[in-house]
């Protein structure tokens, strides 16, 4: 068989006969309990959807908030950088994947030179010409031992890890924007309360001041009324500043100026968020993009071991070409001018001062590091979810108690004011009741914000916010196994 005719068959064998030397991968067992800790919100509820099945457009029910979140997804620069990093990783993967197939190039060459009589061999100077056109494969590695394929798999997992990093960035962004939006709503509510309290205190102060001037009350009552007035004035100024800072932070997170029509007027104007069911840890932890990213990095490190193992075996490369050659340009494509070349090369490493073994040891260490990072990511996720669930249960009780406290403070204030108007008690009891009512109202606003914020955090830590309607999700079960090396393929390593 002619060598040129044998090339296609040789290529077929090269592309189908390689073996992988990467260790066999199994999903590590999650190093966390199988249930949430005691004191958490009830995970067995089935009336509420799980975070992984609820797109963020459905979780955030408020229409204005959804529009703000859409603006953030379009304009936030951190999310844009994460998406560009994904595009770059995809390009690197395509580059590495291209190494599996030969690169075919066409080359045209012309050479014309004058040889002096002293070297021409014919006793006089001569002019030589040579022209050639060739097409072929240059130094293509035949991946018999899976080195190139392992590098391709590593690049693929790294690309998928950057995709999960982008998903994680989106989850974080949505959570941060929602929290700032809720903080703005709460601060505007507090500002409104402080302004109303200031107006009420101002009216009371003027009344007490007139009564003091005519001798109907003591100076200490007038000074106490002034104290309450100045406290309310300071709170109004403080919340005015906080509202301005919230708007500035929101604009930075969104990446553009948020229209005033999309901003909440008060906390009551924000539509309640959807409730969530936490489900079980094995169902939750497989949907968080940061855990999926850590697993992709573990797979990439596992594939890199295969490339390090393959370095102990011969590296075979192939260079071929077919074309035409002539000493005249007009004779390039004439009959009998065809040429071909078939140049296989094998390189067998013999001695390298232990560099390949050190490289394999480094690859295994990288795999172990990635495994530890993967397990740590699961443990951190479990703690975040558990802490959020524990906080959720206590916040609901605390909010109910605060609502009852506020109603009691309102009733006390009404009674104290009536007793003062009737001349039964002094103005001190009215001021105490006002301070208690104001503190209870501010506390209620803070607890409502904390309750909403806890639900936003729960949605985030349960892995919600990156999936879109119809977008495939990760598997819903964790296979309990370990990373085990494959059976020995022979040679100096295992």
Report pLDDT digits (tens) over 83-132. Answer: 999 999 999 899 888 888 888 888 888 888 888 877 777 778 888 888 88
Contacts of 481 (CB under 8 A, 6+ apart): 26, 27, 28, 29
pLDDT mean over 351-379: 91
The pLDDT of residue 187 is 93
The pLDDT of residue 40 is 61
β partners of residue 112: 129
Give the separation between CA 388 and CA 40, rounded to whole angstroms: 8
Q: Is the pTM of this model over 0.95?
A: no
Residue 195: burial class (beta carbons within 10 Å; 0-12, 13-18, 19+): middle
Radius of gyration of the chain from its Cα atoms, rounded to whole angstroms: 37
Structure-model confidence comparison of residues 361 and 113, the more confident one:
361
Helix and strand counts by DSSP (H, E) for the chain = 11, 4
Structure-model confidence comparison of residues 14 and 111, the more confident one:
111
Give the separation between CA 163 and CA 172, rounded to whole angstroms: 14
Length of the chain counted residue by residue = 494
Using CA atoms, how far residue 349 sits from 21, 316, 357, in Å, is 17, 12, 12
User: Both tokens of residue 13?
Assistant: 């064998």
Share of the chain above pLDDT 90, in %: 35
The model's confidence at residue 18, banded by pLDDT at 50, 70 and 90, is low
The pLDDT of residue 43 is 46
Quickly tell me which residue has 């007793």 as its tokens.
419
Contact 100, 106 (CB under 8 A): no
Of 404, 382, 409, 403, whose CA–CA distance to 451 is shortest?
Answer: 403
Structure-model confidence comparison of residues 358 and 32, the more confident one:
358
Of 278, 293, 280, 295, whose CA–CA distance to 461 is shortest?
Answer: 278
Neighbouring CB atoms inside 10 A of 20's CB total: 19
Minimum mean pLDDT range among 52-61, 150-159, 215-224, 262-271: 215-224
Contact 338, 324 (CB under 8 A): yes
Give the separation between CA 295 and CA 230, rounded to whole angstroms: 57
Of 410, 412, 413, 449, whose CA–CA distance to 190 is shortest?
Answer: 449
Contact 341, 319 (CB under 8 A): yes
Indicate the average pLDDT of the chain. Answer: 82
Give the separation between CA 444 and CA 22, rounded to whole angstroms: 58
Contacts of 383 (CB under 8 A, 6+ apart): none
Decide: helix, strand or coil at residue 148.
helix
The model's confidence at residue 332, banded by pLDDT at 50, 70 and 90, is confident
**Torsion region of 19: left, alpha or beta (phi above 0 gives left; psi -120 to 50 gives alpha):** beta
Q: Which helix (H) or strand (E) holds 455?
A: helix 427-461
Give the up-direction half-sphere exposure of residue 192: CA atoms within 13 A in the CB hemisphere.
13
Residue 77: burial class (beta carbons within 10 Å; 0-12, 13-18, 19+): exposed
Per-residue pLDDT reduced to its tens digit, 402-430: 999 999 999 998 998 888 788 788 777 88
Superfamily of domain 25-100+145-313+354-461: Outer membrane efflux proteins (OEP) (1.20.1600.10)
Long-range contact set of residues 396-403: C-beta below 8 Å, sequence gap at least 24:
396/451, 398/447, 399/444, 399/447, 399/448, 399/451, 402/440, 402/443, 402/444, 402/447, 403/444
Eight-state DSSP code of residue 40: S
The pLDDT of residue 39 is 59
The model's confidence at residue 369, banded by pLDDT at 50, 70 and 90, is very high
Minimum mean pLDDT range among 121-125, 369-373, 442-446: 121-125
Contact 270, 185 (CB under 8 A): yes
Contact 221, 208 (CB under 8 A): yes
Per-residue pLDDT reduced to its tens digit, 302-325: 998 998 988 888 888 888 888 888
Q: Which helix (H) or strand (E) holds 437?
A: helix 427-461
pLDDT mean over 175-194: 93
β partners of residue 278: none
Neighbouring CB atoms inside 10 A of 75's CB total: 15
Long-range contact set of residues 15-18: C-beta below 8 Å, sequence gap at least 24:
15/100, 15/101, 15/143, 17/144, 18/142, 18/143, 18/144, 18/145, 18/146, 18/149
The model's confidence at residue 264, banded by pLDDT at 50, 70 and 90, is very high
Helices 147-213/427-461 angle, 10° precision:
170
Q: Tell me the three-class secondary structure of 120-155, residue by residue.
A: HCCCCCEEEEEEEEEEEEEEEEECCCCHHHHHHHHH
β partners of residue 339: 323
| Statement: residue 244 has pLDDT above 60 | yes
């Amino acid at each position: 068989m002619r060598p040129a005719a044998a090339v296609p068959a040789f290529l077929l064998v090269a592309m189908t006969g390689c073996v992988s030397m990467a260790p066999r991968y199994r999903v590590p067992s999650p190093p966390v309990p199988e249930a949430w800790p005691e004191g958490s919100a009830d995970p067995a509820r089935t009336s509420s959807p799980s975070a992984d099945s609820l797109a963020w457009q459905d979780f955030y029910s408020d229409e204005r908030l959804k529009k703000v979140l859409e603006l953030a997804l379009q304009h936030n620069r951190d999310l844009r950088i994460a998406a560009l990093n994904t595009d770059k990783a995809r390009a690197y993967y395509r580059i590495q994947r291209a190494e599996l197939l030969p690169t075919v190039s066409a080359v045209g060459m012309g050479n014309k030179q004058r040889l002096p009589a002293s070297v021409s061999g014919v006793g006089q100077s001569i002019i030589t010409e040579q022209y050639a056109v060739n097409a072929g494969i240059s130094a293509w590695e035949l991946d018999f031992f899976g080195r190139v394929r392992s590098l391709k798999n590593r690049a693929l997992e790294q690309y998928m890890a950057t995709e999960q990093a982008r998903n994680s960035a989106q989850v974080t962004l949505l959570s941060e924007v929602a929290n700032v939006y809720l903080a703005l709503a709460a601060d505007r509510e507090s500002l409104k309360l402080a302004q109303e309290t200031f107006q009420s205190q101002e009216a009371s102060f003027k009344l007490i001041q007139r009564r003091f001037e005519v001798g109907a009350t003591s100076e200490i009552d007038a000074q106490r009324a002034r104290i309450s007035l100045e406290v309310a004035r300071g709170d109004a100024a403080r919340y005015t500043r906080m509202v301005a800072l919230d708007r500035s932070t929101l604009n930075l997170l969104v990446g553009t100026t948020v229209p005033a029509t999309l901003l909440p007027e008060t906390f009551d104007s924000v539509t309640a968020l959807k409730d969530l069911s936490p489900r079980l840890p094995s169902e939750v932890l497989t949907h968080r993009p940061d855990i999926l990213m850590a697993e992709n990095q573990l797979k990439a490190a596992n594939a890199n071991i295969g490339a390090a193992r393959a370095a102990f075996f011969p590296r075979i490369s192939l260079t071929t070409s077919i074309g035409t050659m002539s000493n005249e340009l007009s004779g390039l494509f004439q009959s009998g001018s065809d040429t071909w070349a078939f140049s296989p090369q094998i390189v067998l490493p013999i001695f390298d001062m232990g560099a390949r073994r050190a490289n394999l040891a480094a690859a295994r260490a990288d795999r172990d590091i990635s495994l530890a990072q993967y397990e740590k990511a699961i443990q951190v996720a479990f703690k975040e979810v558990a802490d959020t669930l524990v906080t959720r249960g206590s916040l609901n009780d605390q909010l109910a108690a605060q609502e009852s406290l506020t109603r009691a403070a309102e009733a006390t204030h009404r009674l104290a004011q009536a007793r003062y108007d009737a001349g039964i008690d002094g103005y001190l009891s009215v001021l105490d009741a006002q301070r208690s009512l104001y503190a209870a109202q501010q506390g209620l606003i803070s607890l409502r914000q904390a309750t909403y914020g806890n639900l936003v955090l729960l949605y985030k830590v349960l892995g919600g916010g990156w999936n879109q309607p119809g977008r495939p999700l990760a598997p819903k079960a964790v296979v309990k196994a370990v990373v085990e090396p494959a059976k020995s393929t022979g040679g100096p390593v295992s």
